[in-house]
Copies of this chain bind each other. A is one copy, B any other.
């Protein structure tokens, strides 16, 4: 079997504030013959995600910090082109966490074979049918314990998790789904494509005031992709017994130091509110239930999604920075 040259992106320094190209390098790795049990995968799509910024810091977190001088780990989907494992034959579609590289070669245990559903693009495995969709589903059903008739507010609503969460909330019987996003175009997309009942542009006026205007009867569930002023706004808008699922804090990822929390946490006591953070990795047991329901919704044509695609592994850093800046609509992906 011929050797293969894999182009990979590695982290070489820990960013202070916003990452720059200087924090990364591109390397060529030559893979030789497969060892017994190994497979070689040509990636179709590689994922860039907000949580990656957290792993670039040398801080205690739910996953270890990225090692300097190693290839960036993260979700990817591809097809097996060579195999020395009976479990993962050539031609299989696989998802894995080997990240920012065009070709991956490793023990078969690093790859998970998924059904190659007709009419379902491989890229969906990295978002709406993958961890992104599962994150939205777990946050709503397991963390916020959303009930039929709830009014649901979602921040970062035009992002990959946000668009999934809005549609799932609707399909689970929300009375009203409200989203926030950072441009007029995204706001329009939320109501026109993703079925939000109302959407606001948080750059136009303080979100605290806008949320009060658009949710005069209060909110019951808050799905937080943003943190900061959005969490403060939600705490003000919550009805008694409100629940927040905190999934990310993109507003504070690039802060240089500690960021003050909301000034209205005392509402937790007076209104009996709950804030709960989560990472999807602790809730993988919900995956079969999720995949069955989401597979059904997709088959019925009830789920819309957007992808923003950047071509070429050499542009993974650009894709990541664009995503952090909010330049994407829906899931940001690198196509190989």
Using a CB–CB cutoff of 8 Å, the interface residues on chain A facing chain B are 54, 60-62, 227, 231, 240, 246-249, 252, 258-279, 282
Contacts and interface: CB of A to CB of B under 8 A. Distances in A.
Contacts of A240: 62
Contact of A270 (B54, B261, B264): B54
B279 A270 contact: yes
Pairs A-B, 10 closest by C-beta atoms? A261-B261, A268-B277, A258-B263, A269-B277, A260-B260, A274-B276, A61-B270, A261-B262, A261-B265, A275-B275
A278 B271 CA distance: 7
Contact of A277 (B267, B279, B282): B267
Contacts of A276: 268, 272-276
A271 B227 contact: no
Q: How many copies does the complex hold?
A: 2
A62 B272 contact: yes
A61 B270 CA distance: 5
A278 B270 CA distance: 7
8 contacts: A54-B270, A62-B271, A247-B269, A249-B266, A260-B263, A270-B277, A270-B279, A274-B277
A221 to B, nearest CB: 14
A304 to B, nearest CB: 27
A61 to B, nearest CB: 4
A155 to B, nearest CB: 13
B282 A272 contact: yes
Contacts of A269: 62, 246-249, 277-279
A40 to B, nearest CB: 34
A269 B252 CA distance: 12
Given A246-B269, A269-B279, 10 more contacts: A62-B269, A62-B270, A62-B272, A231-B265, A252-B266, A260-B260, A268-B275, A269-B277, A272-B276, A274-B275
